[in-house]
Copies of this chain bind each other. A is one copy, B any other.
């Protein structure tokens, strides 16, 4: 299949709640980055995090194999540094091949789930 998507994406509305209810790890509150790479080349992806009161942090480096999806929880990004909980953030994704990027959230901070899924803003 041919390459689908863009090489640069952005999200402005990140926030991982502090609290969770329910079975771990499935129902732990999390923000998730969802990437689809339809191309025949591994995607080398760099994530830069933006905060309200400090300088940007990154790049965090992840890869998406050819003809695969990869879902990454922000809680699992630890190099160059783990993300703080209960903090607003945004991010920019840069890939060497076109990919499709969506953003999802599970908020289990009260009883019951609340969920979000939205396509990231396609930049280039």
A→B interface (CB under 8 Å): 1, 4-5, 8, 10-15, 17-18, 21-22, 26-27, 32, 34-36, 38, 48, 50-53, 55-56, 67-71, 86, 88-90, 92, 99-105, 107-123
A34-B90 in contact (CB<8A): yes
**Shortest Cβ gap from A33 to chain B (Å):** 9
- In the complex, the chain B residue whose C-beta lies closest to that of A34 is B13
A113-B110 in contact (CB<8A): yes
User: Measured between alpha carbons, how far is A48 from B36 in the docked complex, in Å?
Assistant: 12
B105-A13 in contact (CB<8A): no
User: Measured between alpha carbons, how far is A92 from B102 in the docked complex, in Å?
Assistant: 14
A121-B103 in contact (CB<8A): no
